[in-house]
Amino acid sequence: MKKTPARLADGREIIYFDETDDAVRELYDSRELPPAHTLSQVRYDPLLAEWVAIASHRQSRTFLPPTSECPLDPSTKDRLTEIPSPAYDVVVFENRFPSFTTGGADEPVPSDDGTVVTRRPGAGRCEVVCFTSDHDSSFSQLTPERVRTVVDVWADRTETLNALPFVEQVFCFENRGEEIGVTLDHPHGQIYAYPFVTPRTRRMLDSAHRHRDRTGENLFARVLADEQRIGERIVASNEHWTAFVPAFARWPFEVHLYPHRQVPGIPELSDAERDSFGPIYLDVLRRFDALFDTPMPYISAWHQAPARVDRDLAYLHLQLFSIRREAGKLKYLAGSESGMGVFINDIPPERSAALLREATAQ
């Protein structure tokens, strides 16, 4: 894989990841843009013991532009975009409207206002990952070879961002579909480098710690082993990965993909594990789309170890879920879910797994 870094007109970094060593990309961004300078802040919620990001500049981010104005398409002589080159395989660049910025690491700590709410600069980094230059494609239409490239890109960025002194956790994810809240149609994902360990990861690792103290075993490995033993909720599997609907699924259609070997993050996956991920993941994505014979809105979220703590407890896995519960019907986070954090799933996980197994992957 060929890696070519450059800078956009406003100073943001862009990196081309190409599958052939002879690929030549346009590195000069001829747009006239002011220097990138965005500030955000994180504030600590003492009631929930969680950090909340405040990033008011994101109110002006690009929202569902027509295809002819997509900023993630390759540039042409008639239209300049976020990607200066007229072609690319996979490309990563700093988000123009980030929730966290590397510049935040140099900002002064906000003054204390006498309340119990702690404030900090929003140090971190937010990146956009374009999986293909084809605007009308989707992740499910990628080849296994391209998925392998994307996995290598996730690994590269995770390793690089974990090394930043102000980053505590790296999160690779994809949002797909307007129903989910996607504001750009082009096939892309994002990477967030947080200045704290996220609440969900902290809670999972605390549970894993208690389970290990009580039983001596890894909690994530036990969940995987139980699903493999029972088999009823398995959707697909191969030599290195198992995809299953967890018995505790919150969402109507939710699949977890686990490697059979415990590793803390994507960088630690072997070549064989990276190669075998693409076929099984594409199979599951295509089953999602086949369920209701229409593109399924989804969130695809990698759960990785924090950069510096509890890496021995963590177990890399991917969580894929959709808010669609039936053709033409969505699962909304209503009073119980949004107000109390108690999920109510309309579809039993065993039924969801059966429907996905029956779906013909397109």
Measured CA to CA, the distance from residue 87 to residue 129 in angstroms comes to 15
Confidence at residue 120, expressed as pLDDT on a 0 to 100 scale = 92
Domain tally for the chain?
Answer: 2
Coil, helix or strand at residue 78? coil
Element (H, E) at 291: helix 271-291
Query: pLDDT for 174-218, tens place per residue?
Result: 999 999 989 899 999 999 999 999 999 999 999 999 999 999 999
Strands 234-237 and 241-244: antiparallel
pLDDT confidence band for 309 (50 / 70 / 90): very high
Same domain, yes or no: 180 and 49: yes
- Write out the two tokens for 302: 């990698």
For the purposes of burial, counting CB atoms within 10 Å of the CB of 243, is it exposed (0-12), middle (13-18) or buried (19 or more)? Answer: buried
Can you give 185-234 as a three-state secondary structure string?
CCCEEEEEEECCCCHHHHHHHHHHHHHHHHHCCCHHHHHHHHHHHHCCCE
DSSP assigned state of 112: P
Same domain, yes or no: 320 and 182: no
Same domain, yes or no: 135 and 204: no
Same domain, yes or no: 171 and 237: no
Query: Of 112 and 90, which is predicted with more confidence?
Result: 90
Same domain, yes or no: 32 and 170: yes
The one-letter amino acid at 123: A
Measured CA to CA, the distance from residue 136 to residue 185 in angstroms comes to 8
Q: Which of 102, 295, 85 is nearest to 192 (CA)?
A: 102
Same domain, yes or no: 121 and 269: no
Where does 19-162 show beta strands of DSSP type E?
41-45, 50-54, 90-94, 119-121, 125-130
DSSP assigned state of 42: E
- Which residue among 178, 196, 214 closes a domain? 196
- Which residue among 148, 169, 196 closes a domain? 196
* Averaged pLDDT, 119-143: 96
CATH of residue 183's domain is: 3.30.428.10
- Write out the two tokens for 77: 């002589």
Same domain, yes or no: 64 and 182: yes
Q: What are phi and psi of 115, to 5 degrees?
A: -95, 180
Confidence at residue 151, expressed as pLDDT on a 0 to 100 scale = 98
186 is catalytic: no
CB 345 within 8 A of CB 327: no
CB 256 within 8 A of CB 246: yes
* Averaged pLDDT, 122-141: 97
Confidence at residue 137, expressed as pLDDT on a 0 to 100 scale = 97
pLDDT confidence band for 362 (50 / 70 / 90): very low
Same domain, yes or no: 172 and 276: no
Measured CA to CA, the distance from residue 9 to residue 84 in angstroms comes to 10
Q: Which residues have CB under 8 Å from 108's CB, separation 6+? A: 121
Same domain, yes or no: 328 and 236: yes
Same domain, yes or no: 47 and 100: yes
Residue 131 confidence (pLDDT) above 60: yes
Same domain, yes or no: 242 and 283: yes
Measured CA to CA, the distance from residue 16 to residue 23 in angstroms comes to 10
Query: Of 117 and 103, which is predicted with more confidence?
Result: 117
* Averaged pLDDT, 227-252: 98
Same domain, yes or no: 9 and 114: yes
Confidence at residue 112, expressed as pLDDT on a 0 to 100 scale = 79
Distances (CA, A) of 250 to 133, 193, 228, 290, 349: 34, 26, 20, 21, 9
Measured CA to CA, the distance from residue 251 to residue 253 in angstroms comes to 5
- Write out the two tokens for 261: 């070997």
Residue 156 confidence (pLDDT) above 70: yes
Residue range(s) defining the domain that contains residue 337: 200-358
Distances (CA, A) of 118 to 11, 29, 114, 169: 31, 39, 9, 20
Query: pLDDT for 5-31, tens place per residue?
Result: 999 999 999 999 999 999 999 999 999
Confidence at residue 108, expressed as pLDDT on a 0 to 100 scale = 82
* Averaged pLDDT, 271-289: 98
> Catalytic: which of 57, 135, 188, 256?
188
* Averaged pLDDT, 114-122: 91
Task: Please tell me the number of Cα atoms within 13 Å of 114 on its side-chain side.
Answer: 0
Query: pLDDT for 41-93, tens place per residue?
Result: 999 999 999 999 998 777 767 777 888 899 999 999 999 999 999 999 999 99
- Which residue among 144, 170, 196 closes a domain? 196
Confidence at residue 361, expressed as pLDDT on a 0 to 100 scale = 53
Q: Mean pLDDT, the chain, as a whole number? A: 95
